[in-house]
Structure 1
Amino acid sequence: MSKFFNIILVGLIYFNSINCQLNTVEEEVDAKLVKCEVCKATVQEIENAVSKVDTGKKVDVGGFRIDAHGNTVSKSVQLSKSEVYLTELMEKICKRLEDYAKVKHKKTHKIGVIQMMVDGALNVDVSSWDFVQDGDLNKSLEHYCLEILDEFDESFTEEFMKETLPTDLDYKLCTERTKLCNDPPPLQDDYKLEDEL
């Protein structure tokens, strides 16, 4: 049985134990909206993985060229900023979307994707969302992630190789660079508030 079904089972038990009702809706969801949300989730997953890498770990890059004096020329960069590390990470990051589900916000009716388990426990934000049932059992989320990274791998690599990551990286990648989302530009205060929470 897949990890996703185990998560759903744990979620059902959790909700029944606190006398809540798990709401699901069955409807067709615009694939473009889902792809936008998958892009944002992918950026978040890569950011999380990169943040866990020791900043002291360095790798030599530059192809070990030889300068005019016969000396080897290479430069050392943080492991998490190296193209090799980022490429390897992007090859396996989409597997993490097996832990996500398509959802619709109960109040705003906005479509999204939500991570079911956070730090080994059921995501507390689940109660604000209705699960969107579909025939593919959320397998399309991983597929969309693979599609996005295949088509826009250079954009993702370039952004994640920057010395400092912008606070609005999801907007830069998913709206500005890939055009997968049509989100308005974020207010800097929005990101400051998220950082404070």
Structure 2
Amino acid sequence: MAADHKSPRSRGMLGGRRGTGGRGQRAKVGSARTAIAQVLTKRARGIVVQLGSKVPSLAMILLYIGLLMVAFLSSHVEGKRDAVLYCGACRALVDELQYEIRKVNPKKTIDVGSFRISPDGTQGKSKVPLATSELYLTEVLEDICEKMNDYGLHVDPKTREKSYKRFAPRDGEGIGSIDFNNFQFNPDDSNSLKFACERVIEEHEDEIFSLITHEADGLTDKLCTEKSGLCKEVLHHEL
């Protein structure tokens, strides 16, 4: 993807901490989760007010507590996560990130650090590879989960193990030896995988930046198994 190296858009100065562009979009997901709780809390108060003159005080208190518990559970309980789905989303995310990094000329660099001039007349700036800079990675992460549409649930014909794999070729790539008979295509799968991808970024964004900027080897295992634990349960079943 093309990055505007001279115009960091809404992220502030070049090399600065990433701004709220992509984070703001992902924050909407978190805000939506609290909306139900807020609505139910208002309804609880309204019901208590309406029944205040008719219901004994103890029963009114119990009613209020019960409704607040429903609101709390609606906001915080998502149910058990699908281990295959979230592990697949994490692995696909890393695969797409590494692909985008490989597209950038490794010799290209970007200035990071402070643009202020110190008393001795120098600036506290340094150069880092553009491909692993926070500026470039932030731009990539903003729409990388859209790539989840190119993945599908794959069932190994021998072991019957399920995992999410890419079935759509990238630009300039051929279809290869992909056997589409081993994929279970469901219209809802891409949306579920996209949502899981967004959650992985939302919850592990700092680890993603840290591992990539420090050029960690085995990025997939480090992020999806060691740091996030998203693939631990899947690997346990495969052993």
TM-score by length of 2: 0.58
Aligned to 1:180: 230
Q: 1:82 aligns with which of 104, 122, 133?
A: 133
Taking the TM superposition and a 5 Å limit, the aligned residue runs for 1:1-197 are 31-118=82-169, 119-126=172-179, 130-134=182-186, 136-162=188-214, 164-166=215-217, 168-182=218-232, 183=235
Secondary structure in 2 matching 1:91: helix
Quick one: percent identity of the two aligned structures?
29
Q: CA RMSD in A?
A: 2.0
Give the strand-richer structure, 1 or 2: 1
Say which structure, 1 or 2, has more relative contact order (CA 8 Å, 6+ apart): 1
Aligned mates of 1:74, 1:39 — CA distance in 2: 33
Q: Deviations over 1:152-177 (max 9, x none)?
A: 11100111111x341x2100000011
Q: Is the 8 A contact 1:103 1:131 kept in 2?
A: yes
Structure 1 residue 60: Cα displacement:
0.5
Unpaired runs of 5+ in structure 1? 1-29, 185-197
CA drift at 1:132: 2.8
Q: 1:106 to 1:46 in 2, by over 3 A?
A: same
1:84 & 1:104 partners in 2: Cα distance?
Answer: 37
For residues 140 and 56 of structure 1, what CA distance do their matches in structure 2 show? 37
Amino acid at match of 2:178: D
The residue identity in structure 1 corresponding to 2:109 is K
Which protein has the bigger helix share?
2
Task: Measure, in 2, the Cα distance between the counterparts of 1:63 and 1:111.
Answer: 48
Find the aligned partners of 1:42 and 1:57 in 2 and give their Cα distance. 23
Give the CA deviation at 1:84: 1.0
TM-score (norm 1): 0.70
Which blocks of at least 5 consecutive residues in structure 2 are unaligned? 1-80
Whole-Å separation in 2 of the counterparts to 1:174 and 1:65: 38
Provide closer, same or farther for how the CA distance between residues 123 and 152 of structure 1 changes in structure 2, counting only shifts above 3 A: farther
Distance across 1 between alignment mates of 2:97 and 2:184: 25
Q: Which has the larger radius of gyration?
A: 2
Q: Distance in 2 between matches of 1:139 and 1:41?
A: 14
Compute the displacement of 1:120 (Å).
4.5
Partner SS for 1:106? coil
Alignment coverage as a number of residue pairs: 152
